Amino acid sequence: MRGVLLSKVFGRKQGVKGRFYRKSLIMILVVASIPGLITGIFLYWIVNSQLEDELLSIHNKQIEQRARNIDAQLNNMELMLSHWAFDSIFDYSLEESNFIYDFNRAHDITNTLIVMQGSNTLNKGVSLYLKGEDPPIKFDPEYGTVASNALKATYDNLLDTKQVVYWTQLAIDPARPAQKELVLVHHIPGGSRTPFGVLVSRLDNEKVQDMLRTMTPYSGGETFIMQNNGDMYMSAEGSAKDSPFVERLRREIGDRSGSGNGSGSGSFIFVWEDITFTVTYGQLSRITDNWTYVSASPITGISEPVITVSKIIIAVSLVVLLLAALLAWLASQRIYNPVKRLVSTLQEGRSLPQDQGDEFSLIESHWNHLHRESSELNKRLSEQLPYVKESFLHQLLQGYLHAYSEEELQARMKRYKWQLSGRHIIVMYMRMTGIASLEGKFKDGDEGLVTFAAFNMIEELAALHFEQHNAVNFHNLAVGLLIVVPKDNDYEARLQQFSGELTASINRLLKMKLTIAISKPTVKLATVPFIFEEAKLAASHRSLESENQVIVLEEPGHYREGATEQAYPFTLEREFIQALRTGREAEAETLLQEFMAALSYSGAKEFDVQQGMLHLLGSVLHAVMSSGVQPHSMFKGVNMYERLSQIREPKLQLAWLQREVVGPFMRELASRSDAGTKRLIEQAMIYLQHNYMHDISLDNCADHIGTNPFFLSKAFKAVTGVNFIDYLTGLRMEKAKELLRESMLKINDVAEQVGYQHSYFNRIFKKIEGMTPSRYRELSQAE
């Protein structure tokens, strides 16, 4: 009866509806009435089985990865300790050494233990115990003896084992036996059958616990490691070995692994006091033993809300079951409209042929066609691997692949579709300059943006000139380009043409200048890092006079040919340092600009200018320390030499020195002395500079500037950082060295011109400079 009724209803629709609509409407009326019930049951099943399994799988993968990291860190400690145990400093001669007299060796051992202690962040301390003496000797890291019998017994137990290197857990302090530490022990000398000492590396318990906590991805839970054949035990949360939770976990792991000690690996769901945990355990293979790690993380907080929601869905679905059946028929009318429009679009307004099948057959055929096209595009995309290729070339140029053989490098290049047979390899190093002269077009920090734009231009132009090429972006206004060209082809002309077009494009579009260093051709990939470094070095010797330069390397070191030498401007440096010490900031900035102008002489190289500025920075830091200021605190621990060495352009070097060095030092001086005192000291310094060749004392200098000697002595030290007599002596020595370098005056005459008697001059010069005036003149003229 029900089938007859449905046939009458759908019989009226056959003329206007498609075949799919007629077949699916009956199914919709049935299925659409119970979607909530099915959803709730399915969600409940997902939570109780699939979700827990997925969380367990994720937890297991995370813990295994973190366990590998911990294993690698412990391996590193074992290798480090074994390396030092075989070092010559811990050989058999230790047994016969008297460290009271041989304090140099004791000092070397102490320094070595300090280096070993700092080699790994987990180390709390590294000790050396020597049993032969009475009392025994212990370096911890300083030299000492073991007077306590209990402590002696502790270390003797470490030595009286058949194992040469092993892990253990013990209390180093016999007075506190409960405070055990994880230690790594190695007998010395390394490889000896009759060891007489041990190296003991003690791990910081807090850091070990922090390391174990990384194996717990969720809050709460427990993580611990235990020795399979011993009683060593460490817990991230400080839980005792015999606590109920840990004991239950150990029994469960022992049952699953089939052995009482819990060896093996795996993961499982564990329920404790109505809380569900994901548990992962595995092995850490240590020297002469295995450790078991266990990580238990609670997941009840994740699954409980989903289970509650699924139960609510089931309850609500039962209530609306009847209503859903009624609404299904009404909804089917609107559901079919999108399908009808899609079919009409695919058929361009024509009716669906009877032999074509239903509406979804047509949609399926079009979908399969689009899917085939998408798969083909994805396949082509995966074969390109552009980023992997660039990463490989970056490592090759930087020399990170030195461990690979030539055959292995060739194989990797072929894998990236490079053809190297019968071809030369050329490396080009390109560096842009002039960013400091663009007057606001680019601001500080835009180097990466500028380099990216230049990188794209280089790729496009290289594609027009070379069949095989690949650029590497260094993000610091420098780009590398590796080119493969045929051996018997005239590639020099193409290189010159490419360099010219690239230089013109960089000048026109980025308004910057370009230096290009072209390496010698090579056929071996193993030599690519060396020719690349040579190209970089050649670019650093670019002439400051030429804005755009193309340097072709034919022979090593050719960039030094024709280089002119310029004397270092010692006088300007001395005047600049004096202006800094007396707080004359404006004059210091002017002298600094004159100093840079003197370095950037006609024909000067970028490398020479940078070395000169580094030398000046050293003099400034010396002046800062002499004034009583600690550079480390004033510059907040920044390595100023490293910062300056990264700046290539003279204008940027000058601006950096004024901003980062001169300015902070001036502000520091201003906070330490008032203007009136500095003016008095400046007058005193000027008086000394004009009269250093005469017999000058603190009293007559004080009379000259109108103050008393006591105040002058104290203020001079506070402002300049040096004593009055030390400054006068330094001033005379600088003038004496200048006369010895630049004149042919006799030593007697030089002494008189700087205010000394000949015999006293020789004595004080040798004391300060470490050599006689005559020897200093010989060395300076030899340079």
- Specify the higher pLDDT residue, 201 or 99: 201
What local confidence, expressed as pLDDT, does residue 43 receive? 60
Which residues does 432 contact at the CB level (< 8 Å), separation at least 6? 450, 451, 454, 477, 478, 506, 510, 512, 513, 514, 515
CB 518 within 8 A of CB 550: yes
Q: What is the 3-state secondary structure (H, E, C) of 516-583?
A: EEECCCECCHHHHHHHHHHHHHHHHCCECCCCCEEEECCCCCHHHCCCCCCCCCHHHHHHHHHHHHCC
**Is it the case that residue 370 has pLDDT exceeding 60?**
yes
Q: Which of 28-37, 109-118, 149-158, 211-220 has the lowest mean pLDDT?
A: 28-37
Residues in the chain: 783
Over residues 736-749, mean pLDDT: 88
pLDDT band at 33, cuts 50/70/90?
Answer: low
Average pLDDT, the chain: 78
Query: Six-digit token pair at 169?
Result: 């857990």
pLDDT of 440 above 70: no
Find the mean pLDDT for residues 32-48: 61
* Amino acid 298: pLDDT: 84
Output the pLDDT for position 637.
75
Q: Is the pLDDT of residue 704 over 70?
A: yes
Closest CA to 262 of 272, 252, 270: 252
**pLDDT (0 to 100) of residue 10:** 37
Write down the pLDDT at residue 310.
63
> pLDDT-derived band of residue 253, with 50, 70 and 90 as boundaries?
confident
CB 272 within 8 A of CB 252: no
Percent of the chain clearing pLDDT 70 (strictly above): 79
- Stronger pLDDT, 298 or 672, i.e. the higher one: 298
Pairwise pLDDT comparison (604 vs 372), residue with the higher score? 372
In this prediction, residue 47 has a pLDDT band, given cuts at 50, 70 and 90, of: low
pLDDT of the residue at 545: 62
Q: What is the 3-state secondary structure (H, E, C) of 248-306?
A: HHHHHHHHHHCCCCCCCCEEEEEEECCEEEEEEEEEEEECCEEEEEEEEEECHHHHHHH
Asked whether residue 197 carries a pLDDT value surpassing 50, the answer given is: yes
pLDDT band at 388 (very low <50, low <70, confident <90, very high): confident
CB 208 within 8 A of CB 234: yes
Residues 215-252 pLDDT 10s: 877 777 788 888 876 567 788 877 777 788 888 888 88
Asked whether residue 509 carries a pLDDT value surpassing 60, the answer given is yes
Instruction: Report the alpha-carbon distance of residue 606 to residue 552 in Å, rounded.
Output: 17
Q: Which of 278, 282, 275, 274 is nearest to 296 (CA)?
A: 278
More confident residue, 293 or 540: 293
Q: What is the pTM of this model?
A: 0.38
> Of 354 and 506, which is predicted with more confidence?
506
What pLDDT shows up at residue 29? 54
Beta bridge partners of 270: 277
pLDDT tens track for 451-502: 888 888 888 888 888 888 888 888 878 888 988 888 776 778 888 888 888 8
Distance CA 519, CA 521 (A): 6
Q: Which token pair is 511? A: 């308004």
Higher pLDDT, 439 or 724: 724
Per residue in 616-634, pLDDT tens? Answer: 878 888 877 776 677 777 7
Q: Residue 633 is encoded by which pair of tokens?
A: 């605190």
**Contact in structure between 502 and 514 (CB atoms under 8 Å):** yes
- Whole-number pLDDT of residue 6: 36
Give yes or no for residue 151 having a pLDDT over 80.
Answer: yes
Whether pLDDT at 328 is above 70: no
At residue 25, the pLDDT reads: 59
Secondary structure class of 366 (helix, strand, coil): helix
Residue 378's pLDDT band (boundaries 50, 70, 90)? confident
CA separation for the pair 118, 141 (Å, rounded): 12
Kindly report, residue by residue over 10-24, the tens digit of the pLDDT: 333 433 345 666 566
- Judged against a pLDDT cut of 50, whether residue 7 lies above it is answered with no
Among 482, 509, 508, 369, residue whose Cα is nearest residue 426: 482
Give the DSSP H or E segment for 479.
strand 478-486
Nearest to 718 by CA among 622, 581, 588: 581
Q: What's residue 383's pLDDT?
A: 66
Asked if the model's pLDDT at residue 658 lies above 60, the reply is yes
pLDDT at residue number 336: 67
Mean of the pLDDT values across residues 179-185?
A: 86
Question: Across residues 56-65, what is the average pLDDT?
Answer: 80
By DSSP bridging, strand 549-552 and strand 513-518 are parallel
Mean pLDDT of 610-620: 80
* Residue 439 CA: distances (Å) to CA of 436, 442, 512: 7, 8, 12
Beta-carbon contacts of residue 265 (< 8 Å; ≥ 6 apart): 281, 282, 283
pLDDT, residue 706, reads: 82
